[in-house]
DNA sequence: TTGAAAGCGCTAACAT
DNA sequence: ATGTTAGCGCTTTCAA
């Protein structure tokens, strides 16, 4: 079991040892059905003995395909994105594709560099989430590059994506809150300028409120995407017109908001209702369990990957809106009379 | 903004357009300091105008380095591994390395295929977690391949790793429980045969119990790594000699166990104490917050990556034991008299 | 069914 | 400081 310096065989050595041409060895690995069974067995034997495995870099350069896709997500520490990755990676692996993954930490500079870097690596396609579909330099680059890609979580009429219908989902949650008797609802988000999803959710929430004759959904902006802002929260809760329900634009934010409310001496849901958006598994473990809008993140990843692979194989780009559902937990309750 | 079929330029075209040799263009990108400033500016200009970026596949083939590392982890849905990935990826990116990631779902076959696949891709090194360092076919392959690698979460005297000291960590937790008055403690794990970490934790727990004169730490094996087994649990809790504290070998398992206990009509911690191992962030959000042994997962990933890069650059392999700490939550309380 | 030859895009000797 | 040349490992015509 000595650690030899690994004199990595090439297809040429194998060909010589097997007494055939390099082309035949190549065929033995790529189109075994067209080489003579005896030759095939012999080559496989020699290759195995020598510990030979085709070098994918050589193959990629020659064939023009790396059989690798790139994934660019804000952070894997948000279980929503982690699940999305798992769905996509599994699907990719099943099709013989590998995945390069970059976490941007919501930094547009990292995001843009990641796209460039993955393109330099000649990935066959890209799955990514951008802050805002409508003004993303990254996305413009991508469009003009001809590289196949699919967005996840974003929605757009001009770019392929896999996502829930954020407007409808937010609307459904507002309807749920309204059914509980809430008439003053606020949507809590991170910086709106940095998230087209948050904007869509706000639109959906407002549309529903209007339809149901509720007061306009207020908007409370936090400075970070997943962290709460105790001061902003306190300010928003002052006065007679304070909202009775806080609809947070993601689950992580909801947990942070709940923690802040508790620190403020409020109790959820008896003093105020809170709900989230995402449906991360951990929400169910909280006490009370988090009321939220569940997105099928694994499915979003899987679908995006399927669509991307289809594109890579020449199909036209395609978008999918996956079904969401309201998870009734215990953080949103009937409003007190 | 037409989607041109992208007639990807090569270094040769750029060289011709710029009136220099391909080698000079290559130098302009790789060792800009040795080319004449005017030439450099001119080449950069031409390259930029043509939208040229060096093809990393060509470069990799020629140079023998892909500047890519492989990461193989059981699942990104466990926030512990997600954080580890983030630490490693960030560190890699800072050094100009990209990351290919595979989630094995604890399946040895996937694990082994992933190692092969990443080696086929000519990654420069590998970071991975294996079920059992002492009998891992995967690891044997790796050793004989000469590919640099660093284990994460595993510990070994013969393989480089980055991990906490699992024995000491488990011992510390047992000491903590003992200080709360517990004398009958059980360690709850998934299949022991499939996790050297669980085994080390059991050893550490037993050693500490012995030292402190407690009863031997019982072992309750669940059939899955992170799911609880209500029947096994019920059986273990029968009788006068039932444990007063359940030490779960990971946080996800701890949450599942707590849920089962609650379903059994027991209350944590007043009827029985429970604690976990990992220190996932969500533990702090539970009610009561999870008492656990925190591992610095981001740091483990970062350290592993640093050590791997050092190895890739010719340094000898190195192992690191990172510090753990006991997080006192509310799921473990003083034993009732 | 197999072989010969060219070349994917790039870099590293070696020359100048 | 720049150019010439060869070739990394593989696949893919084109021939046989």
Distance from CA of A33 to the nearest CA of B (A): 22
pLDDT reported for residue B227: 85
Task: Residue A175: count other Cβ atoms within 10 Å of its Cβ.
Answer: 17
Of B6, B120, B145, the CB nearest to A145: B6
Which positions ≥6 away from B95 have C-beta within 8 Å?
B309
Q: How confident is the model over B80-113, as pLDDT tens digits?
A: 999 999 999 999 999 999 999 999 999 999 999 9
Of A61, A79, A99, the CB nearest to B77: A79
Q: Give the nearest nucleotide to B11, CA to C1'.
A: C9
> Contact A89/B101, CB-based, under 8 Å?
yes
pLDDT reported for residue B7: 54
d(CA B234, CA B192): 19
pTM assigned to the model: 0.95
Asked if the Cβ of residue B32 lies within 7 A of any atom of strand D, the reply is no
The CA-atom distances, in angstroms, between A49 and each of A44, B118, B200 are 8, 20, 37
Packed helices A79-94 and A297-312: angle between N→C axes, nearest 10 degrees? 40
- Tell which B residues from 175 to 234 touch A, by Cβ distance under 8 Å: none
pLDDT reported for residue B164: 98
pLDDT reported for residue B305: 98
| CA closest to C7 C1', residue | A62
Query: Cis omega (within 30 of 0) on the bond before A142?
Result: no
pLDDT reported for residue B2: 30
Of A61, A146, A286, the CB nearest to B285: A286
pLDDT reported for residue A1: 35
pLDDT reported for residue B290: 98
Helix (H/G/I), strand (E/B), else coil: B200? helix
Q: Give the nearest nucleotide to A63, CA to C1'.
A: D11
Distance from CA of B79 to the nearest CA of A (A): 6
Residues of A in contact with B80 (CB under 8 A): none
Q: Which residue in A226, A244, A204 sits closest to A280, CA to CA?
A: A226
Assess B120–A contact: CB distance below 8 Å, yes or no: yes
Residues of B in contact with A286 (CB under 8 A): 285-287
Nearest chain B Cα to A90, which residue? B103
| pLDDT range class, residue B141, cuts 50, 70, 90 | confident
Is-contact A286 A257, C-beta < 8 A? Answer: no
Q: Give the nearest nucleotide to A30, CA to C1'.
A: D11
Q: Give the nearest nucleotide to A14, CA to C1'.
A: D9
The count of C-alpha atoms lying within 13 angstroms of the C-alpha of B5, restricted to the half-sphere facing its C-beta, is 2
Assess A119–B contact: CB distance below 8 Å, yes or no: yes
> Contact A1/B281, CB-based, under 8 Å?
no
Q: Give the nearest nucleotide to A10, CA to C1'.
A: D9
Q: How confident is the model over B185-209, as pLDDT tens digits?
A: 999 998 877 789 999 999 999 999 9
Q: Which two tokens stand for residue B81?
A: 């591994």
* DSSP per position, A188-206: EES-GGG-HHHHHHHHHHH
Q: How confident is the model over A264-276, as pLDDT tens digits?
A: 999 999 999 999 9
pLDDT reported for residue B337: 64
pLDDT reported for residue B191: 82
pLDDT reported for residue B224: 85
Q: How confident is the model over B20-50, as pLDDT tens digits?
A: 999 999 999 999 999 999 999 999 999 999 9
Burial A126-142 (b: 16+ CB within 10 A, else e): bbbbbbbbeebebbeeb
Distance from CA of B81 to the nearest CA of A (A): 9
Residues of B in contact with A285 (CB under 8 A): 255, 259, 282, 285-286
> Contact A55/B120, CB-based, under 8 Å?
yes
* DSSP per position, A289-335: PPPEEEP-HHHHHHHHHHHHHHHHTTPPP--EEE--EEE--SSS-PP
* E-only strand ranges, B227-279: 245-248, 273-278
Task: Residue B218: count other Cβ atoms within 10 Å of its Cβ.
Answer: 19
d(CA B225, CA B203): 18
Is-contact A100 B99, C-beta < 8 A? Answer: yes
β-strand partners of B248: B188
d(CA B202, CA A233): 46
> How much of chain B exceeds pLDDT 90, in percent?
88
Residues of A in contact with B93 (CB under 8 A): 102, 110
* Residues of chain A falling short of pLDDT 70: 1-8, 337
Q: How confident is the model over A41-97, as pLDDT tens digits?
A: 999 999 999 999 999 999 999 999 999 999 999 999 999 999 999 999 999 999 999
d(CA A259, CA A264): 9
The count of C-alpha atoms lying within 13 angstroms of the C-alpha of A269, restricted to the half-sphere facing its C-beta, is 26
The count of C-alpha atoms lying within 13 angstroms of the C-alpha of B242, restricted to the half-sphere facing its C-beta, is 14
Q: Which two tokens stand for residue B58?
A: 């060509």
Q: Which two tokens stand for residue B241?
A: 């000699």
| pLDDT range class, residue B154, cuts 50, 70, 90 | very high
Nucleotides of D under 7 A from a protein CB: 1-13
> What value does the mean pLDDT of chain B take?
94
Q: Is the pLDDT of residue B142 over 90?
A: yes
Strands A125-128 and A185-189: unpaired
Q: Is the pLDDT of residue B157 over 80?
A: yes
pLDDT reported for residue B223: 87
Assess B56–A contact: CB distance below 8 Å, yes or no: yes
């Amino acid at each position: 079991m000595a650690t030899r310096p690994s004199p990595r065989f090439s297809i040429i050595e194998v060909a010589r040892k097997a007494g055939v041409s390099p082309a035949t060895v190549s065929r033995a690995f790529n189109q075994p059905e067209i080489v003579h069974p005896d030759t095939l067995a012999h080559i496989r034997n020699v290759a195995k003995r020598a510990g030979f495995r085709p070098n994918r870099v050589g193959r990629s350069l020659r064939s023009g395909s790396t059989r690798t896709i790139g994934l660019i997500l804000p952070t894997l520490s948000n279980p929503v994105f982690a699940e999305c990755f798992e769905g996509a990676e599994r699907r990719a692996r099943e099709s013989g594709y590998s995945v390069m993954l970059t976490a941007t930490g919501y930094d547009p500079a990292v995001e843009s560099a990641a796209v460039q870097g993955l393109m330099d690596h000649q990935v066959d396609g890209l799955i990514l989430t951008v802050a805002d579909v409508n003004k993303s330099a990254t996305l413009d680059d991508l469009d003009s590059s001809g590289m196949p890609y699919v967005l996840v979580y974003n929605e757009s009429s001009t770019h392929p994506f896999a996502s829930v219908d954020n407007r409808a989902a937010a609307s459904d949650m507002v309807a749920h809150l309204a059914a509980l008797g809430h008439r003053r609802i606020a949507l809590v988000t991170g910086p709106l300028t940095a998230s087209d999803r948050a904007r869509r959710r706000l639109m959906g929430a407002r549309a529903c409120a209007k339809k149901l004759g509720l007061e306009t959904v207020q908007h409370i902006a936090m400075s970070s995407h997943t962290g709460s802002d105790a001061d902003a929260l306190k300010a928003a809760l002052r006065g007679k017109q304070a909202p009775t329900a806080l609809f947070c634009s993601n689950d992580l934010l909801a947990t942070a908001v709940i923690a802040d409310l508790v620190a403020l001496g409020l109790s959820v849901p008896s003093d105020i209702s809170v709900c989230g958006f995402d449906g991360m598994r951990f929400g169910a473990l909280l006490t009370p369990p988090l009321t939220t809008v569940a997105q099928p993140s694994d499915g979003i990843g899987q679908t995006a990957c399927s669509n991307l692979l289809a594109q890579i194989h020449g199909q036209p780009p395609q978008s999918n809106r996956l079904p969401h559902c309201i998870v009734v937990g215990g953080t949103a309750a009937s409003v007190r009379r």
